[in-house]
Amino acid sequence: MRRRITRRRFLDGAARGMAASVAFPMIVSAAALGKDGKAPASDRVGIGTISCGSRAGVAGEYQRYAKSQIVAVCDPQTDRRMRRKKDYGNCADYGDFRELLARNDVDAVHVATQDHWHVPISLAAARAGKDMYTEKPLGISVEQCKAAREIVDKHKRIFQYGTQNRSISQVRLGTELVLNGHIGEVKEVYVWCPQGEAGGSATPVLPVPEGFDYEMWLGPAPKAPFCKDRCQTQGPRNGIFHIYDYAIGFIAGWGAHPMDQAQQWADNAGMTIPVEYEGTGTIPTTGLFNTLTHWDMTCTYPNGLKMRFMDNQTARTNNKVPNIDQMKFDHGSLFVGETGWVAVTRGGWKVFPEALYKKAPAAGPKKLAVSNSHTQNFIDSVLSRQQPVSNLHSAAISDIICHLCDISLRTGRKIKWDPDKETIIGDPEAAKMMHRPMRAPWTL
């Protein structure tokens, strides 16, 4: 098959110093658009969607953007991928992501798998020359988060982390208020998100449904008998979120959103990563689900600033998050300063004093990137070759924070982190937990 020349490939080639005989315009002109308002197919970014479950619904936004189109879908469950195939105009479909990555017309992928596949597939995509939008959380171990940096550092790929809150205006405006000193020096940071789930059952063991490549679904995870609660229960009680073989639970699966908001502030405030982690939490001792259900962690930065990280239920017990009674948010990031406070989330924002709302549009010189659509920001970045609003290096830090909290709670000890060597210090047992074995033949 002749490799088609896209605007993205031309720009990527130019950036590498490759000779090119034809240059495409940087911006799609009105004359180049088709009758449906979309660019000609040869000029659109071709997207491959890997996993066709509920999070793949976000990928449908590519079909509504003039600069992109979905050209292939992949899922080990035949019925799911066939539904998405129909939704996306009868595009190509695959049961093995490696076949999708081999397509010449796939410029970028949308990785919406269960958590334990996020980093292995993203790395494979980068090595195949594809850009990627990868759902949160990043990896299921500190080791995976660090390894993922190869995607942008070595392969120069575009990586958008699926923390859509960065593309919501009130999150940006509220964070800019804090960065520009409108609440004075930040004295405390609070982060909270929905609590995890207990329960689930490994019985009855069921035959694998026809059309479900369960071996591919498990991939690098340990071999386990098929049962409904492991991977087919719908909604927040789906085992893929609460079984330690596939995830570390909502502390990262949901916590990624508000933790990422806090990290966006930290990135722009000259902060690094907390170096001490200590707290309390609950891990179920019965049932199939074995990730944290509740937690209350204190994470301390090198300068002594403390960030409290809790599940929503714990946060509301005795108002452990200040002013939480004024908020209806099930997750959020709260910055408490000398003269006021700002709380941001996708569901809204709260500030004190209220006069800060009027100051937000022109908060000051410290500005964050403006993005009104996470998927469109990704496509625009693929074309411009500039990293998007939720970049990989920031994602790795926020995800590592969640992992260090989890390790502290599983060991029952304070964890100390060396930000230069990027390792747990003074606790060899805890340090070993930064690594997760992968089932052969899969590796990072």
Is 149:314 a contact under the CB 8 Å cutoff? no
DSSP codes, 70-119: EEEEE-SBHHHHHHHHHHTTS-EEESSHHHHHT-TT--EEEE-S-GGGHH
Domain assignment of residue 287, yes or no: yes
pLDDT score, position 37:
63
pLDDT score, position 40:
73
Tokens of 110: 């949308």
- Nearest alpha-carbon partner for 314 in 262, 263, 251: 251
Domain assignment of residue 383, yes or no: no
pLDDT score, position 44:
94
Tokens of 50: 């890997």
Bridge-partner residues for 70, per DSSP? Answer: 47
User: What confidence tier does 237 reach under pLDDT thresholds 50, 70, 90?
Assistant: confident
Q: Which one of 120, 142, 165 terminates a domain?
A: 165
| Residue 6 in this model has a pLDDT that exceeds 70 | no
Domain assignment of residue 297, yes or no: yes
User: What confidence tier does 36 reach under pLDDT thresholds 50, 70, 90?
Assistant: low
Domain assignment of residue 69, yes or no: yes
Tokens of 153: 């550092």
Which range, of 195-204, 226-235, 263-272, averages the lowest pLDDT?
Answer: 226-235
Tokens of 102: 């081999």
User: What is the total count of domains within the chain?
Assistant: 2
Helix and strand totals (H; E) in the chain: 16, 15
| Residue 11 in this model has a pLDDT that exceeds 60 | no
Which range, of 6-10, 140-144, 217-221, 267-271, averages the lowest pLDDT?
Answer: 6-10
Domain coverage including residue 420 = 168-370+392-444
Give yes or no: residues 108 and 229 share one domain: no
Q: Report, in this order, helix, strand and coil percent for the chain, each rounded to 5.
A: 35, 20, 45
| Residue 45 in this model has a pLDDT that exceeds 80 | yes
Domain assignment of residue 46, yes or no: yes
Give yes or no: residues 296 and 232 share one domain: yes
| Residue 256 in this model has a pLDDT that exceeds 50 | yes
Give yes or no: residues 30 and 172 share one domain: no
Give yes or no: residues 146 and 191 share one domain: no
Cβ atoms < 10 Å from Cβ of 361: 9
Give yes or no: residues 299 and 249 share one domain: yes
| Residue 57 in this model has a pLDDT that exceeds 90 | no
pLDDT score, position 283:
98
Burial 62-94 (b: 16+ CB within 10 A, else e): beebbbbbbbbbbbbbbebbeebbebbeebbbb
pLDDT score, position 7:
44
Q: Strands of 415-418's sheet, edge to edge?
A: 348-352, 341-345, 332-337, 186-193, 306-311, 294-300, 276-282, 415-418, 423-425
Give yes or no: residues 23 and 129 share one domain: yes
Where residue 337 sits, what CATH number does that domain have?
3.30.360.10
Where residue 63 sits, what CATH number does that domain have?
3.40.50.720
| Residue 209 in this model has a pLDDT that exceeds 90 | yes
Q: Which one of 109, 131, 165 terminates a domain?
A: 165
Give yes or no: residues 85 and 154 share one domain: yes
| Residue 101 in this model has a pLDDT that exceeds 60 | yes
Give yes or no: residues 22 and 120 share one domain: yes
Give yes or no: residues 119 and 217 share one domain: no
User: What confidence tier does 30 reach under pLDDT thresholds 50, 70, 90?
Assistant: very low
User: What confidence tier does 34 reach under pLDDT thresholds 50, 70, 90?
Assistant: very low
| Residue 47 in this model has a pLDDT that exceeds 60 | yes
pLDDT score, position 235:
79
Token look-up 């002594």 returns: 304
pLDDT score, position 310:
98
Q: Is the dihedral of CA 350, 356, 361, 364 positive or negative?
A: negative
User: What confidence tier does 20 reach under pLDDT thresholds 50, 70, 90?
Assistant: very low
Q: Please, how many CA atoms are within 13 Å of residue 443, restricted to the half-sphere of its CB?
A: 1
Q: Please, how many CA atoms are within 13 Å of residue 204, restricted to the half-sphere of its CB?
A: 3
Domain assignment of residue 47, yes or no: yes
Tokens of 133: 């939008």
Domain assignment of residue 308, yes or no: yes
Give yes or no: residues 49 and 116 share one domain: yes
Give yes or no: residues 173 and 160 share one domain: no
CA 424/CA 414 separation, integer angstroms: 11
Q: What percent of the chain has pLDDT over 90?
A: 86
Which residues 6+ apart lie within 8 Å of 31 measured at CB? none
Q: Which one of 100, 133, 165 terminates a domain?
A: 165
Question: Chain-wide mean pLDDT for the chain?
Answer: 91
Give yes or no: residues 148 and 175 share one domain: no
